[in-house]
Amino acid sequence: MLQETAMETYLNWIKANGGTFKKIEFKHDSLGVGCVYTTQTVQEDENFATVPFKLCITENLARKALPDLGSFSGRIVQTLYLLLQRHSREDSFYWPYINILPKVIKTPLVFDDHDMRFIQNTNLESTTRERKAALFLDFEKLLEHLPEEIDKNDITWEDFLWGYSVFSSRSFPYTLIDPTFEGSSEVLFPLVDALNHKPNTKITWSRNGDPETGSLSFVAGQAINAGEEIFNNYGPKYNEFDHVAVKPNFSQDPNQETKLNILKQCQVSSDNADPLVFYFHRNNMPRAFFKLMRVLVMNSLETEHYAMCTDGNLLDFVGYRNEITMISMTLSLFKSKLYALKSVQLEKEHIPYWQTFALMYRAGQEDILDITIKKVEEMKHSLIQQMHQEEKEDKIAPCAPFLSIVNPLYFQQQDSSIELTSNEFVTLDTVVMTAKRVLNNDATFAAIISENFEPEEEADIIMMLCLVRENSKPDSRFRRFFDRVTAAQSNSVTSAPATDAAAEDRAELKEMYDSMIPAFHEAYPDVFDLKVFSFEAFVWADMILNSYSIENPLAIVPL
């Protein structure tokens, strides 16, 4: 008699235990992925397989067999249970099933260095490394808690990763067996786990009986022609890689504590396990992410005003300066991710299937990043257009600083009242005050500046001088801006006590002033009138630079 193949033994085992299946066969596709095909047409509503629950490897079963492992997660206990059953070979009830499981499961956890290049610079790379390191600690701890009859050498790290990957790649939620079960628990479900996933597949999983003696049936939701692959639908969760994960970094921010506090008070959270990790999908940019970024890019004036804020709606828009900076920062975050992804050179042909899948994953990530970058660029475009329109209409918030928390009604109205109809191309330069823009209209001053300063290295000081000069012109186009911030400053100067740091800054400014202005006054007495270029004017320009500027290009946002 011919010896039974492992597959035959497995199918007989299912039948012997009350399982039924018809019109299906098990194959491997060209990539080596196990698949199930129909041998005859399966009709809509036809039950083509029933599998009894008693074939399942549940957490409960594993915990009962390994009662000393209470401190380990279900997945870890089940992994060890699976490995012990495998170790028992034919003596284990589950051996026919275990024997047909893929011998190698190419999850990223078992990728070698070359494979890892295929996920280099992706979220999957970092989560894989982190998960693997954490798993190794679990593994070492587990070795200390093995049942007495098991030798440590019987369970290798490679075995452990295999067992763990069996669960991560093919387990189902325990609620398939008991829908009343609360909490999360997994189950290995022979045969049920043979079907591959295809989104939108119409298939019904129908449960019969109780969790001990019942079974699960597959009912086709649509006719499947003979010879076609039969798919399952694992549900939307299976698309867990269909997003780019982003975690903005606050750790370098000197104001980190205040900012994290604002986020907490305003209840800004991604609603994920880590509240600072956000998922971007093709068609979804999380609103909370932008709120968080607005806090992240706040300057000290903005944090000061928002320090006590508890209304998350006020983070939908902080102010124009903040919004420009937020958008630039978001763009560079996503662009650098995209650049990092694209910079890895990988071969595309004659590669094993798991590398092909990794390339598909990369392509999906690039696609999501491309789409997101485009959307953020659109946000930038309409923001600039809105600023342009406001400037044209000479509109400016009633109260400096021009933050929505100080002018809530004004900024609320802006959103709905402005209609962006203009198709003209408006650049950022036209809606902010750059030194270049000031100097283009002031040849005398421009000549002095270019004679004495390096535009790149001394951009800050040039900007301060331009501010003072521009403020001396009664008909400056920034008149309303200057007047409102000056009024706000004189109010706050009288009320706010100077801190040590503020006193130090002032001393530094004074030193800079003394080293420069008297000499300029001497050289260009008509331009550097000391009544205009007073030390107080210098302090004022410094305040504007600190509170209303953006970087790259350095500019003042006068709205």
Select 230 or 462, whichever has its Cβ closest to ligand SAM: 230
3-state secondary structure of 199: coil
Strands 215-220 and 47-52 come out as: antiparallel
Judged by CB under 6 A, does residue 22 bind ligand SAM? no
3-state secondary structure of 287: helix
Judged by CB under 6 A, does residue 27 bind ligand SAM? no
Judged by CB under 6 A, does residue 59 bind ligand SAM? no
Closest CA to 535 of 508, 499, 498, 500: 508
For residue 256, give every residue at least 6 positions away whose Cβ sits within 8 Å of its Cβ, in sequence order, or none.
250
Judged by CB under 6 A, does residue 519 bind ligand SAM? no
Alpha-carbon span 451 to 463, nearest angstrom: 15
Judged by CB under 6 A, does residue 196 bind ligand SAM? yes
Are the CB atoms for 214 and 208 separated by under 8 Å? yes
Question: To the nearest whole angstrom, how small is the minimum distance from the Cβ of residue 134 to ligand SAM?
Answer: 20
Question: To the nearest whole angstrom, how small is the minimum distance from the Cβ of residue 218 to ligand SAM?
Answer: 13
Judged by CB under 6 A, does residue 364 bind ligand SAM? no
3-state secondary structure of 10: helix
Judged by CB under 6 A, does residue 169 bind ligand SAM? yes
User: Residue count at the site for ligand SAM (CB under 6 A)?
Assistant: 10
Stretch 31-50: interaction string toward ligand SAM, x if CB under 6 A: --xx----------------
Closest CA to 466 of 447, 449, 486, 484: 449
Question: To the nearest whole angstrom, how small is the minimum distance from the Cβ of residue 290 to ligand SAM?
Answer: 34
CA distances from 347 to 106, 118, 344, 352, 360 (A): 19, 9, 10, 11, 13
Select 265 or 356, whichever has its Cβ closest to ligand SAM: 356
Question: To the nearest whole angstrom, how small is the minimum distance from the Cβ of residue 196 to ligand SAM?
Answer: 3
Select 119 or 376, whichever has its Cβ closest to ligand SAM: 119
Residue in 59, 186, 193, 542 binding ligand SAM, rule: CB under 6 A:
193
Question: To the nearest whole angstrom, how small is the minimum distance from the Cβ of residue 170 to ligand SAM?
Answer: 4
Question: To the nearest whole angstrom, how small is the minimum distance from the Cβ of residue 231 to ligand SAM?
Answer: 7
- Return the range that interacts with ligand SAM (CB under 6 A); candidates 128-136, 190-198, 306-314, 389-397: 190-198
Give the nearest residue (CB) to ligand SAM.
Answer: 34
Select 7 or 420, whichever has its Cβ closest to ligand SAM: 7
Written as one string, the DSSP assignment of 494-556 is HHSPPPHHHHHHHHHHHHHHHHHHHHHHHH-TTTS-TTTS-HHHHHHHHHHHHHHEETTTTEE
Q: Which residues pair with 187 in a beta bridge?
A: 58, 172
Residue in 198, 207, 243, 375 binding ligand SAM, rule: CB under 6 A:
198
Q: Determine the length of the chain.
A: 559
Judged by CB under 6 A, does residue 102 bind ligand SAM? yes
Judged by CB under 6 A, does residue 75 bind ligand SAM? no
Supply 544's token pair: 């504007």
Judged by CB under 6 A, does residue 197 bind ligand SAM? yes
Residue in 191, 194, 449, 467 binding ligand SAM, rule: CB under 6 A:
194
H/E element holding 365?
helix 353-392
Judged by CB under 6 A, does residue 18 bind ligand SAM? no
Burial class (CB in 10 A: 0-12, 13-18, 19+), 442: middle
Closest CA to 181 of 288, 31, 74: 74
Written as one string, the DSSP assignment of 317-340 is ---HHHHHHHHHHHHHHHHHHHHH
Residue in 23, 75, 170, 337 binding ligand SAM, rule: CB under 6 A:
170
Judged by CB under 6 A, does residue 233 bind ligand SAM? no
Which spans of this chain sit near ligand SAM (rule: CB under 6 A)?
33-34, 102, 169-170, 193-194, 196-198
